[in-house]
Amino acid sequence: MRFSLLGTALLVTVSAPALAADGKVNLLEPHGGLMFWTLLIFVGLLFVLSRYAFKPLLAAVEAREASLQSAMDSARRDRDAAAVLLAEQQKQLEAARAEAQKYIADSRAIAEKMRTDLLAETKHQQQELLDRARREIEEQKSRAILELRKEAIDLAIAGASKVIERNLDDASNRRIVEQFLTTIPAPTKS
């Protein structure tokens, strides 16, 4: 390729520059000398750049490309790891929610059972109190009836003894019992 460029440059230099009729150089027409020097400067600059500048630039670009590829690979791995962690966290969150719902349901069931047990216990205690109160009322009623009977018997005996003492007629007996009953103090209600 070097030789073909060099050959072209020589061919161009040999050809004379085309001058316009008035002696001025026309820039639109090719000139061999100008093309030769342009080509020579271009080849020299290309040689210097390829020898000293392109290798370090290419190495820097390749290093940058490798660095970017490494960063992209690392980011991809990090993204995949983050996705795995996110999925695991979501599973744990769902498990925690399910467990919390289970605890809430268990708590509600326990609270309902306790409420039912307390109501049953309260009703049982209330029934026991009512039964005991009824028994006590019955006992006191029985005692009161017994006392009244004793009192009535005592009164009847006392009245009969008074009647026997006087042994009068029926109207007199009645008056005596009524007088005796009026002398007995009336029981006070409490």
pLDDT per residue as tens digits for the range 38-56: 999 999 999 988 888 888 8
Euclidean distance between CA atoms 133 and 11, whole angstroms: 140
pTM of the model as a whole: 0.38
Q: Residue 183: pLDDT band by 50, 70, 90 thresholds?
A: confident
pLDDT at 115 over 60: yes
Q: Are 13 and 44 in contact (CB under 8 A)?
A: no
Q: What is the CB neighbour count within 10 angstroms for residue 17?
A: 13
Please report, for the chain, the start and end positions of each structural domain, with discontinuous segments joined by +: 2-87, 138-183
Q: Which residue did the predictor score with more confidence, 145 or 131?
A: 131
User: What percent of the chain clears pLDDT 90, i.e. is strictly above it?
Assistant: 48
Q: Are 149 and 175 in contact (CB under 8 A)?
A: no
137 to 125, 132, 149: CA distances (angstroms): 18, 8, 18
Burial class from Cβ neighbours inside 10 Å (0-12, 13-18, 19+) for residue 40 reads: middle
Residue that is written with structure tokens 């290309």 in the block: 46
pLDDT at 20 over 80: no
